């Protein structure tokens, strides 16, 4: 049998949990923009609001967070004319395919998911069924578009592997090759951005110290001050990246510089090796302000016009459904659901 041919298509999304940080930008959104601008794949980027409600959300805050994330996408360079931008709940085919995948996935697969163990903890009996089953929805998010590639962080690799398992089992059970086996795309410096106060911890919006992170809504002065006050050690930067092995704060700042300047870490070391942080941090601060302040300003402008954001998301959802509806219909036909 001939191998099926799938349109090269990228799907990825972020939960609207509020408080976008530099980690979200360098670890995900900047990658999204690069993939969009490369033009080799059709690109869909969603706001996964159905995933957000697996734990209780204040409704008004969820609405605001959804719009803020959309503003962050657009301000960072995701262009509604080039990519399909939408929120997941407005494309019902996601949830409909997730139910089919709930019948394919095995309980043991779900129980082994690291994020389920982390989020449910010792009180798993009190966690929502949605939290347990959400990897099936995540698989549906990708497969409802026959996505072939997904840009992910290291902590999401397990979900991509589960998606491949679900797709493979569906194909096997129904003697078809309808769903592609998706490929994760993980690349480049600073995919894990660490705290500015503790280089051993991931940068997080939940850290009590605002100085530990760069918020994507921070203005130029705030960005500069946080970089200049970032924790470092007294030694100058070494000539090679290997010299940063046991210096997590210094390594984090070099990774950030490399990602923002679109250089390799070794190029950064060649330029700044031997420099003290009295030189390096002002250079990084200037670079961060140059790259991030325009995004912050545009996010603020967009958030003052929520109707514009909502219109972009509605248009994106309509375009997404043009792809999703035929795939769901064919899935139903394969399974034997009459309509």
Cite the active site residues.
119, 202, 205
Query: Torsion-angle region of residue 267: left (phi > 0), alpha (psi -120 to 50) or beta?
Result: alpha
252 annotated as belonging to a binding site for a ligand: no
218 annotated as belonging to a binding site for a ligand: no
290 annotated as belonging to a binding site for a ligand: no
5 annotated as belonging to a binding site for a ligand: no
Question: By the 8 A CB rule, do 328 and 93 touch?
Answer: yes
336 annotated as belonging to a binding site for a ligand: no
157 annotated as belonging to a binding site for a ligand: no
265 annotated as belonging to a binding site for a ligand: no
224 annotated as belonging to a binding site for a ligand: no
204 annotated as belonging to a binding site for a ligand: yes
135 annotated as belonging to a binding site for a ligand: no
155 annotated as belonging to a binding site for a ligand: yes
Q: 42 forms bridges with which residues in the sheet?
A: 9
23 annotated as belonging to a binding site for a ligand: yes
Can you say which residues are annotated as belonging to the binding site for ATP? 15-17, 23-24, 153-155, 193, 202-206
Can you say which residues are annotated as belonging to the binding site? 15-17, 23-24, 141, 153-155, 193, 202-206
Can you say which residues are annotated as belonging to the binding site for L-tryptophan? 141
């Amino acid at each position: 049998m001939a191998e099926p041919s799938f349109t090269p298509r990228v799907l990825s999304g972020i939960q609207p949990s509020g408080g976008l940080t530099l980690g979200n930008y360098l670890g995900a959104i900047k990658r999204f923009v690069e993939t969009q601008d490369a033009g080799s794949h059709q690109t869909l980027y969603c706001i996964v609001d159905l995933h957000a409600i697996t734990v209780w959300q204040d409704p008004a805050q969820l609405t605001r967070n959804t719009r803020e994330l959309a503003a962050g996408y657009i301000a960072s360079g995701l262009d509604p004319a080039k990519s399909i931008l939408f929120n997941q709940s407005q494309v019902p085919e996601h949830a409909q395919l997730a139910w089919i995948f709930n019948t394919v996935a095995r309980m043991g697969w779900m129980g082994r998911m690291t994020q389920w163990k982390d989020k449910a903890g010792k009180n798993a009996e009190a966690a929502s069924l949605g939290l347990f089953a959400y990897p099936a929805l995540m698989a549906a998010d990708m497969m409802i578009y026959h996505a072939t590639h997904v840009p992910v962080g290291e902590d999401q690799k397990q979900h991509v592997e589960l998606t491949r398992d679900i797709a493979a089992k569906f194909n096997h059970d129904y003697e078809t090759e309808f769903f592609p086996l998706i490929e994760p795309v993980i690349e480049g410096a600073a995919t894990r951005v660490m705290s500015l106060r503790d280089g051993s911890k991931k940068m997080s919006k939940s850290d009590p110290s605002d100085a530990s992170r760069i918020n994507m809504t921070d203005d130029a002065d705030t960005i500069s001050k946080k970089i200049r006050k970032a924790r470092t050690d007294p030694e100058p930067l070494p000539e090679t990246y290997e010299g940063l092995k046991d210096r997590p704060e210094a390594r984090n700042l070099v990774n950030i510089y490399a990602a923002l300047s679109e250089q390799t870490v070794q190029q950064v070391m060649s330029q700044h090796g031997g420099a003290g942080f009295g030189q390096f941090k002002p250079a990084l601060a200037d670079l961060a302000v140059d790259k991030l302040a325009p995004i912050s300003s545009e996010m603020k402008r967009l958030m003052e016009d929520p109707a514009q954001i909502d219109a972009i998301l509605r248009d994106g959802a309509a375009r997404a459904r043009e792809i999703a509806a035929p795939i769901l219909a064919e899935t139903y036909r394969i399974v034997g659901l009459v309509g």
